[in-house]
Structure 1
Amino acid sequence: MPHTRLVEDKGRQNWISIKKDKFIFPGGGTQFIHGADQYLNQISQMVPEISFGHCVRVALDISCGVASFGAFILQRNVTTLSIAPKDVHENQIQFALERGVPAMVAVFATHRLLYPSQTFDLIHCSRCRINWTRDDEILLLEVNRMLRVGGYFVWAAQPVYEHEEILQEQWKEMEDLTARIYWELVKKEGYIAIWRKPLNNNCYLNHDTRVLPLLCNSNDNSDNVWYIDLRACITQLPVNGYSSNVSTWPARLHDPPDRLQSIEMNAYISRKEIFRAELKYWNEIIDSYVRAFHWKDLKLRNVMDMRAGLGGFAAALHDFQIDCWVMNVVPVSGFNTLPVIYDRGLIGVMHDWCEPFDTYPRTYDLLHAAGLFSVEKKRCNMSTIMLEMDRMLRPGGRVYIRDSISVMGELQEIATAMEWVAMLHETGEGPHASWKILISEKRM
């Protein structure tokens, strides 16, 4: 259980309280004076086109506190990835994950965040204490990279409404910067300002090269994020319109997105056929898991797919109405399919499984890995990956490893050494199939 210091620091601000042995999250605090629900209502009234749960499906909450924004907007069919550094308030991301809200440790520093370009329908920053105009405006330019075509940036902060000279100067700097990157200030009301990113490249075509920031180089891959430095330039929109033509939710979960055509992958048949085949494959497997292993009775909430492909596993869980969210991890050793995952209305992150994952211990109910070890054993020590899985898995959590029989003996041995209860099962293909399923439970 996270440290109680946050209750001591923030209890007076209605962020969080303790009732017997439970933490209570009222949804108020310095971020949301009248509560998170009223705050979301205000945003909807300010810009009705935002249309939570339809046009806006995937959001990013920066410096999220205890993730009340993500928790309350979840009820409006929006999946929000809440990010924050580990700071003096002690483990806010762990609180978010304990609430069952998608979250991970991340910080604006010198490298790109681990999400592709043109990804989030809405990016939110409420009292996040980030100076967006410093350091060549590089931090807001990173937000611009991740924000989808026509996406919204919601900023609730003192410079929006306070009249002190220094704060008004910060507001003028923000107005100037957003104008230079061609964002439209759609609405400013009370302590909230909402901007919208352009819908096409027309404004960039006539960009004055004497005005900073400059446009990014055309050969810069804005989806390349692993240990890539931040760029002090404006990321242009895809000239082919990819990422702008996504369906509204829930149709976008099953509609092959345009960006499917632009990602690098081994494809000898139609990419749309591969997309549909993967979804059909995982629907059949999840159906068998529900029937044979009673997945609907497991009370799953925080789920990770450690080699997500096109997101078919997460989509199948949604189709079978399993009440959970999935962190879709795309390993750096394979093709970058994250743009497609986000275009489907899902969330995910790039990661190298030779390194630790940016989350707190004991935060996931289910870890799923299909074909991960037979690929990564060439690069990483398998026991290192398994130990990281043990760190992330909460007591009582489960692991499903679906992989080649060539790695199963070693994996079962490692699982047993970690005191997991591990059993090897056949796949639906029968006893002579080249793959098996290792199902493990981390007992209390």
Structure 2
Amino acid sequence: MVPDITFGHHIRVVLDVGCGVASFGAYLMSRNVITMSIAPKDVHENQIQFALERGVPAMAAAFATRRLLYPSQAFDLIHCSRCRINWTRDDGILLLEVNRMLRAGGYFAWAAQPVYKHEEALEEQWEEMLNLTTRLCWNLVKKEGYIAIWQKPLDNSCYLSREAGTSPPLCDQDDDPDNVWYVDLKACISRLPEYGSGAIVAPWPARLQIPPDRLQSIQIDSYIARKELFTAESKYWNEIVDSYVRALHWKKFQLRNVLDMRASFGGFAAAIIENQLDAWVLNVVPISGPNTLPVIYDRGLIGVMHDWCEPFDTYPRTYDFLHAAGLFSIERKRCNMSTIMLEMDRILRPGGRVYIRDSLDVMDELEDIAKAMGWRPTLRDTSEGPHASYRILTCDKRHG
């Protein structure tokens, strides 16, 4: 429909809102697109549980009163097909949240009755949507059949040239669009960075290994230049995952739904792709550390912010593999390690595996907790040998 929408090239990361059982996301996977499928928790249908059991990335999440746990300029395309959301209510506050998460130059695809039906009430809804999207400076690039597709601008110039007093206003200069943990929705337009940061990423698959512009805006204590840090982390995880594949026979595992519990720049997930494992990774950025989520999305990966001292928003037994590197030595200052381990047990399917890479001083306690939960733990040396301060605890969760 739109020539610039080249799946698996310029369009790599997609958000599917009100996703049903994630058929759209499942279809796009074959086109080298990773889709985060979201729907509210539903007691009757459990759509997200079905999606995860199909092996498709999905989370229970809803457009409500708070920001979703994804960064600004995260998605190349946001898709809403019969998602039953009134985008124009409350001054368009929910569509403003879409706008925050949509990459500059990205697309919003809306498949709904007001697009193609001509009853009076629906025509009124369509006019309201046109009015709102025009004020958001979105360009209606295609309306065909039951689908309308808009494109977000590449910079702030259109916002700044609107008539004075046009609503919704631009957000204040000090509003951080990447601050999402328990942050209320705001009825304002998130500003795009003045220097274009985040808008321009290389096409897939090159963007996976190119240090993105937004790397420079991450607040981290770094003794070496960030680009070197990014490249070193990618190399480090490539070597480790390569050794896991060779020595621990990962190709024989039923690895599909993978959770990286402390993802940093997404190096582990990138290494899974480089090793051509048939798995996808949800990268979790803990709130206790720097917010690296923008970098993860700029690489063409998906992720979410989370506090591991709280439950994770997913159904029980939905992940095949949990990876925790350096997580417990940091989080144990904030909450009991057994709290996190019990939550890991809840979200791990029977027969699933856990790899914990952490300092020696937490390993005894973690091994005891793993045994108490009925896991089969094995303590292994890292590639640095038996005298290194780190160990790997590999655990199998027994069936039944």
TM tier relative to shorter chain: over 0.9
Partner deviation per Cα, 1:189-225 (whole Å, 9 max, x = no partner): 0000000000111112223331110110011000000
- State how far apart, in whole Å, the 1-side matches of 2:150 and 2:42 are: 28
1:389 and 2:344 aligned: yes
In 2, Cα distance between equivalents of 1:375 and 1:104: 25
- More deviation, 204-213/219-228: 204-213
Say whether residues 1:87 and 2:64 are aligned partners: no
The 3-state SS of whatever aligns with 1:341 is helix
Count matched residues. Answer: 399
Choose which of 387, 391, 400 in structure 2 pairs with 1:432. 387
Work out the CA distance in 1 between the residues paired with 2:266 and 2:157: 33
Q: Which residue among 271, 286, 310 is the counterpart of 2:241?
A: 286
Structure 2 partner of 1:370:
325
Matched, 1:245 2:200: yes
1:206 aligns with 2:171: no
- AA at the equivalent of 2:315: Y
> What residue in structure 1 maps to residue 298 of structure 2?
343
In the alignment, which residue of structure 2 is the partner of 1:319? 274
CA 403–88 in structure 1, closer or farther in 2 if over 3 Å, else same: closer
Alpha-carbon distance in 2 for matches of 1:310, 1:333 = 15
Runs of 4+ in 1 over 3 A off after TM superposition: none
Task: Please state whether the residue corresponding to 1:283 is helix, strand or coil.
Answer: helix
How does 1:3-402 map onto structure 2 within 5 Å? 46-87=1-42, 89-402=44-357
C-alpha distance in 2 between matches for 1:278 and 1:208: 47
Query: Counterparts of 1:104 and 1:210 in 2: how far apart (Å)?
Result: 38
User: Following TM superposition, by how much is the alpha carbon of 1:380 offset from its aligned partner in structure 2, in angstroms?
Assistant: 1.2
Taking the aligned partners of 1:356 and 1:290, their CA distance within structure 2 comes to 30
Note the residue ranges of structure 2 that are not aligned, 5 or more in a row. none
Q: Secondary structure at the match of 1:59?
A: strand
Partner of residue 410, structure 1: 365
CA offset at residue 48 of structure 1? 1.3
* Deviation at residue 405 of structure 1 after TM alignment: 0.6
Q: Secondary structure at 1:118's aligned position in 2?
A: coil
Q: Which residue of 2 aligns with 1:10?
A: none
**Inter-partner Cα distance in structure 2 for 1:263 and 1:204:** 26
Q: Secondary structure at the match of 2:341?
A: helix
Summarize the Cα distance change of 1:303–1:378 in structure 2 as closer, same or farther, 3 Å threshold.
same
Give the partner amino acid of 2:339: T
TM-aligned CA deviation for residue 88 of structure 1: 5.0
In the alignment, the residues of structure 2 paired with residue 307 and residue 147 of structure 1 have an alpha-carbon distance, to the nearest angstrom, of: 24
How many angstroms apart in 2 are the aligned matches of 1:216 and 1:364? 38
Question: Scaled by the length of structure 2, what TM-score is found?
Answer: 0.99
- Name the CA distance, whole Å, in 2 between partners of 1:431 and 1:336: 33
Q: Distance in 1 between the 2:11 and 2:398 partners?
A: 39
CA distance in 2, matches of 1:276, 1:129: 43
What's the CA shift string for 1:237-293, capped at 9, x where partnerless?
111111012000000000010111111111121111001000010011111111111
Structure 1 residue 420 and structure 2 residue 372: aligned?
no
What is the distance in 1 between the residues matched to 2:88 and 2:106?
Answer: 20
2:42 partner amino acid = D
The unaligned stretches of length 5 or more in structure 1 are 1-45
Distance 1:158 1:195 in 2: 16
**Displacement after TM superposition at 1:388 (Å):** 0.3
Structure 1 residue 47: Cα displacement:
0.2
Higher normalized contact order (CA 8 Å, seq sep 6+, divided by chain length):
2
**294-303 vs 328-337, greater mean Cα deviation:** 294-303
Distance across 1 between alignment mates of 2:353 and 2:346? 13
Give me the identity figure in percent: 73
The equivalent residue for 1:26 is none
Distance in 2 between residues matched to 1:196 and 1:288, nearest whole Å: 43
1:86-131 CA distances to partner (integer Å, 9 max, x unpaired)? 2254210000000000001001111000000011000000000000
Cα distance per residue 1:314-367 (max 9 Å; x no partner)? 000111111100000000000000000000000000000010000000000000
Hey, what's the Cα distance between the residues in 2 that align with 1:287 and 1:70? 28
Distance 1:245 1:173 in 2: 31
The letter for the 2-side match of 1:311 is: G
Greater shift, 81-90 or 279-288, is seen at 81-90
Name the TM-score, length of structure 1 as normaliser: 0.89
Secondary structure class of the residue paired with 2:393? strand
Question: Counterparts of 1:135 and 1:180 in 2: how far apart (Å)?
Answer: 15
Mapped to 2, the partners of 1:419 and 1:352 lie a distance apart of 25
